[in-house]
Amino acid sequence: MNYSQNYFGKPLNDLTWNDIEGYFAEAKEETDSIEYKSFVEHGSMDSKYEGIYKAACAFLNSNGGIIIWGTPVGRRIGDKKEKSFQGALSPINIVLEKDRVISKASGNIIPMPEGINVKIIENDTDCICVFEIQKSPFSPHQTNHIYYMRLDGQSVPAPHYYVEAMFRQIKFPDIEGYVKINNITIQGHLLSYNLHLEVLILNWSPLQNETNLSFRLTTTKGVFQGYDNPASTYEYWLNGAQVIGDDLIDVLHHGAPLKTSLIIVIPAAEIMGEMRMILHFGGKNSPLKSSEYKYQLSMAAEAGHSVNPIEVERTENIFMHELPQAMSMSKEEKLRNILGR
C-alpha cells in the first residue's frame, strides 16, 4: 500500500522538507498506521535506532505504515493520553546514508524483513528520515527478542495469543501483474489500428510457488484480436472487449515472470481520446488483485498516421478488497450490485 500517497498526496521518493514542515503545521496524533519520532541530542545513536527497530517491527506485524524520524516533539495537551505533534521539526543532526539505515533496520529485525523503504530528506547538515513499511508476508518479526504490534497508535509488545496467531496465519504468494504497451501499428488502409501489449505476472515470494494462475483484462476501446475465433486459447466476454486467461501455467516460480502477448484492434474512427485497461489477476492461493491504466491516444507530432499512447493514470497491484469502491460499499450494497435486487 502507498502510505505516503495517503498521508502526503505523493510517493515516498517525491517527499520534500517543505512537505514534512507543512504536514506538521497542524496538530497531528499517531495512529495505527503512522508513528512520529522526534530527535533529541542526548543519548547514543544506537539507542535511537532501537526505537526505529521497535516501530518497524510493529508495522511489519500489523498492517504496515509510516515512521517519520525528526518530527516535532510530542506534547500532551490537558488530560489527553495521546501526544500532539505540531510546529518546528527536530531533525537528525547528521545526514544519514540510506543504505546504512536500511541495513541497520533489516539486520536488527528477525526474520530479515522485506518491504521497508526509506526516504532521507536533507537540509544542510540535518535530515529527516521517512520509513514506509508494508505489512509483512513473513510475520511475526521480532527485535531484541520481543515481538511488537500496533495498538491504539503505539508500538507495544505483542501478547502470546497474537504471536501464535501470526505463526498460524495463512501465507500466500506475493503476485504482481502489469500491462505493458509495446507499440501501435496500422492495419490495412487505415481501417483499424493494432495495439500490441503484454500482460506480465510475477511471483515475488522466494519460497512459495503459485498455481492455477488466471487473469481478466478489459479494454474500453476496441476488441481483442481472436475473440471471434472458436479455437482461441482464451475466453472472451463483453463482445470481445474482455479477455480471460485461465490456468496459464502449471507453476509460477519466483523470478520467472509469465508473459502473455495480446493485440487490441481499434477502428480508426475510434482511435483518438481516452482509453482504459483494467487487469484482474490471481491464483489458487493468492487473493485477487487489480491494476488499472488510463491512456490518452493522440496522433504523433511527426507526419503520418502513427498514434502515441500517453499514460495519464496508473494504479497497480491493489487487492480487490482495498479498492476505494470496494472499501466504501457495505456487504448489502455489494450483494445488491451482484444480484441486481
Amino acid in position 250: D
In the chain, alpha helices (H): 3-8, 17-23, 45-61, 98-107, 160-168, 324-327, 331-339
pLDDT in tens, 16-51: 999 999 999 999 999 999 999 999 888 788 888 999
Backbone angles phi, psi at 98, to 5 degrees: -55, -45
pLDDT in tens, 172-223: 888 999 999 998 888 766 688 999 999 999 998 877 899 999 999 999 999 9
Residue 338's SS3 state is helix
pLDDT in tens, 249-295: 889 998 889 999 999 999 988 888 999 999 999 998 888 999 999 99
Residue 317's SS3 state is strand
The CATH fold of domain 3-168: 3.30.950
The CATH fold of domain 175-330: Immunoglobulin-like (2.60.40)
Residue ranges per structural domain of the chain: 3-168, 175-330
pTM: 0.57
Neighbours of 323 (CB within 10 A): 15
For residue 190, the number of C-alpha atoms closer than 13 Å in the C-beta half-sphere is 6
Residue 188 burial by CB count (10 A; 0-12/13-18/19+): exposed, middle or buried? Answer: exposed
- Across the range 65-79, mean pLDDT stands at 93
